[in-house]
Structure 1
Amino acid sequence: MIRYLLNKMLMAMHRRYDYDVRYLQEILQTDLPAFLKYLGFQMMAAHSANVPAEPLFAARVRAIIWDDCGPCTQLVVNMALEARVSPDRVRAMVEMDLDNLPESTALVARFTELVLAHNPEADELREQICALWGSKGLIAIAYSISSSRVYPALKYTLGYGHACSRVQVNDQTLAPTRSAEAQHG
């Protein structure tokens, strides 16, 4: 019965976001305790502390682009739009167009890129983030960055990661780009 209800939840997610949930259904059907642990992980991924949605989505979008070339990125884009982040800002996040993001959102996008590249320049930005939102905000951003990377890893490990695709932001199709600047440090 519990598997049936959890599968209904997954199918609702599939319909809501047009997202392939087969890898999650496989976990649910194969190992219920493992799936319940996944649900616990969802609580961590949703943690926001005192950070507004837009900077958190900047972290999630930039982090997911490091590990995914389409479907998971599209899911995060759709969730950002659903959270009322403007399409122009979401587009700027996907394209790493920092000039078209508010300063705090651009800060988080750049920080995310530097963190994922293990670039020591992230240290300066970390201090700026703590000045804006404190240590609790930094933890929320850390959770956004790290948790976003789990989904593509699960999909590809279980054999559900496939062809790359472009990302839709309302009526515009984009090719997600990875910041080359962050890799040099």
Structure 2
Amino acid sequence: MIRYFLNNMLLAMKKRYGYDVRYQQDILQTDLAAFLKFSGFQTMASHCGNLPAEPLYAARIRAIIYDDCGPCSQLVVNMALEAGVQPALVRAIIEQDLTTLPTEIALIVEFTELVLAHDPQADVLREKILALWGAKGLITLGFAISAYRVYPTLKYSLGYGKACSRIQLNDLSVVPQRTSGPASGANHV
């Protein structure tokens, strides 16, 4: 009975976002205990803390793009739009266009990239983030960056990972910008 209820929740997500939930359904059908643990993890991933949607989704989008899962990236972009993040801002985040992003969002994009690359320059930006949003904001960003990497990794592990070449942003197809180190054009906001 619980599997039926949980599967209906997955089907509602599939319908709402047009997202393939088969990997979650496979976990649910194979190992209920594992699925319940995964559900607990999703509580961490959904933590918003005291951050506005724009910086929160900047971190989430950049983290998901870093690990290259097209359907996951599309899902997070759709969620950002649903949360009220403006399409032009989402596009600049996807394209890692630091010159057009507001300073605080460029800071988050650059910080996320540096953290993911394990670059010590993130320390300087961390101080700026603490000044803007405090320790709670930093923890929220830490959750967003680390949690949103789990989904692509899990999907690739289970054979459901798909490379991302373009993300649909309303009627526009956007190519995600990836870096292997500090964000291109970075000026350490």
Q: Secondary structure at the match of 1:50?
A: coil
Q: Residues of 2 paired with 1:156 and 1:81: CA distance?
A: 26
Which has the higher mean CA deviation after the structures are superposed, 100-109 or 75-84?
100-109
| Aligned 1:58-137 pairs, distance under 5 A | 58-137=58-137
Instruction: Please state how far the C-alpha of 1:39 moved relative to its aligned partner.
Output: 1.0
Query: Contact between 1:58 and 1:93, CA under 8 Å: does it hold in 2?
Result: yes
Query: Contact between 1:119 and 1:183, CA under 8 Å: does it hold in 2?
Result: no
Q: Residues of 2 paired with 1:77 and 1:162: CA distance?
A: 16
Query: What letter corresponds to residue 37 of structure 1 in structure 2?
Result: K
| Aligned 1:140-179 pairs, distance under 5 A | 140-179=140-179
Q: Deviations over 1:151-171 (max 9, x none)?
A: 001111001113444101111
| Structure 2: unaligned runs, 5 residues or longer | 185-189
Q: Residues of 2 paired with 1:163 and 1:118: CA distance?
A: 23
Which has the higher mean CA deviation after the structures are superposed, 164-173 or 55-64?
164-173
Give the aligned length. Answer: 184
4+ long deviations beyond 4 Å: none
| Structure 1: unaligned runs, 5 residues or longer | none
Q: Secondary structure at the match of 1:168?
A: strand
Q: Deviations over 1:33-90 (max 9, x none)?
A: 1111111111111112111111010000001011124111000000000001000000
Q: Residues of 2 paired with 1:162 and 1:88: CA distance?
A: 25
Query: Contact between 2:117 and 2:181, CA under 8 Å: does it hold in 1?
Result: no
Query: What letter corresponds to residue 158 of structure 2 in structure 1?
Result: L
Instruction: Please state how far the C-alpha of 1:182 moved relative to its aligned partner.
Output: 1.1
Q: Residues of 2 paired with 1:179 and 1:50: CA distance?
A: 28
Percent identity over the alignment?
Answer: 65
Indicate the structure with greater helix content: 1
- Counterpart residue number, 1:14: 14
Q: Residues of 2 paired with 1:67 and 1:91: CA distance?
A: 18
- Counterpart residue number, 1:33: 33
Query: Contact between 1:152 and 1:161, CA under 8 Å: does it hold in 2?
Result: yes
Q: Residues of 2 paired with 1:7 and 1:165: CA distance?
A: 30
Q: Residues of 1 paired with 2:183 and 2:53: CA distance?
A: 26
Query: What letter corresponds to residue 35 of structure 2 in structure 1?
Result: F
Instruction: Please state how far the C-alpha of 1:179 moved relative to its aligned partner.
Output: 2.8
* TM-score w.r.t. length of structure 1: 0.95
- Counterpart residue number, 2:43: 43
Which has the higher mean CA deviation after the structures are superposed, 115-124 or 99-108?
99-108
Query: Contact between 1:47 and 1:143, CA under 8 Å: does it hold in 2?
Result: yes
* TM-score w.r.t. length of structure 2: 0.93
